[in-house]
Amino acid sequence: MDLFQKCREYTRVQQAKEAGLYPFFHSLQSGQDTEVVMEGRRTIMLGSNNYLGLTSDPRVKEAAIRAVEKYGSGCSGSRYLNGTLDMHLELESAFASFLHKEDSMIVSTGFQTNLSILSSIAGRGDTILSDNMNHASIVDGTRLSFARTIKYKHSDMEDLERLLAKCAEDPNAGVLIVSDGVFSMEGEICDLPNIVRLARKYGARIMLDDAHAVGVLGAHGRGTAEHFGLESEVDLIMNTFSKTFASLGGAVVGDHCVIDYIRHTARPFIFSASIPPAQVAAARESLRILEAEPWRVRRLNEISAKARGMLSALPHVRVHDSGNSLVPIIPILTGSIGRTLFTAKYLLENGVYVNPVLPPAVTLENCLLRTSYTATHTDAQIEEAIGIIGQVFAEMAANTEVDFDITL
């Protein structure tokens, strides 16, 4: 059989395009902001991870420009060899200080950060206990590791304890509990207090992926651990620059000996070119702004609560109950693939962009529209966007002629 036969038989994309329902790779003709020009139309952006609204901040853009002028457009090598700039080291020091840890390592992407941590820190004879709704980068990181990986039921502390008790039967095996701090599709916050309690009881270590929590949770935006008052109890915290910090890249913080071990053993880090100067400068300036302007976190929480309240009041809209009103990720349950694609299409045509979430990110009948919010959204923008959402859902509920049960 020809290796490429599977590619010729892959027709789902073409089917979606022919039906006018292909939901991906929409082209923007403007910068990422609360409003964008998408395929020639003014569009309110409810699908971005630009949580603090810093991608369009003049200070961040100017910092990136200055970095290019001083250092050029790239580093032409890995951090391990010739690609470490003084600004890489300064950003690492700043992140460690911000998150109250001894040391930090920055990596070229957030995805690679999780690959680097998990493939190096857990080896043969060790066990990784991973929430079964963790991000794909965690899943792939565990696959790169030689450790045994066991998934526990989503946020199920009884199941986690059952697995920890089994691991405790081998006192020579190291155990790492890995969880998203905020789950990126559901907008749920992990049960960190009980994860900490169980880790203490069974001698396990904890790693948090706080990509959607830093800049979002905690009085100072330090994430899930600050939110729960447990900053000293989490061993490793991973974060990305592509969300709160208006850039590209990732970081992990922890004890110096642990970070230094990862720095010298993680193949995804060692064999990748370092983050370009403009991205480092943008992330560093974004961190400065977050530390100087904590009102952005409060405003983000206010906007999120307002949006959740308004969406929940709409008669034809089902909002996923995440158990909190702080997180700026609010999923709208749509059910089938067809209904999800039709709804996303109609919303975009009416000037609101949201992210359709389809299998394998969710199960076949639990598709959703992921809406997300930014500290710089105005009340007027939120009210306009949610008014459009209400109108579109009402029209769809009344339309009995559309076949929503298509499969692609």
- CA dist 258 and 89 (Å) reads 17
349 Cβ contact partners less than 8 Å away, ≥ 6 residues apart? none
Peptide bond into 360 cis (omega under 30): yes
Active site (catalytic) residues: 184, 212, 243
CA terminus-to-terminus distance, the chain:
25
The encoded tokens of residue 79 equal 């951090």
The residues, ordered by sequence, that sit 6+ positions from 311 with a Cβ below 8 Å of its Cβ are 317, 319, 330, 332, 371, 386, 389
- Joined together, the tokens standing for residue 105 give 């390592």
DSSP secondary structure code for residue 34 in this structure: S
The closest alpha carbon to 246, from 103, 378, 58, 68, belongs to 58
- Name the residue among 322, 303, 314 with its Cα closest to residue 370: 322
Q: Would you say 159 and 152 are in contact if contact means Cβ atoms under 8 Å apart?
A: yes
Q: Which helix (H) or strand (E) holds 116?
A: helix 110-121
Dist. CA 188–CA 181, nearest whole Å: 8
Quote the CA–CA distance of 32 and 97 in Å, as a whole number. Answer: 29
* Angstrom distances, CA of residue 62 to CA of 50, 270, 381: 18, 30, 27
**What is the chain's Cα-based Rg?**
22
Q: Hey, what amino acid is at 176? A: L
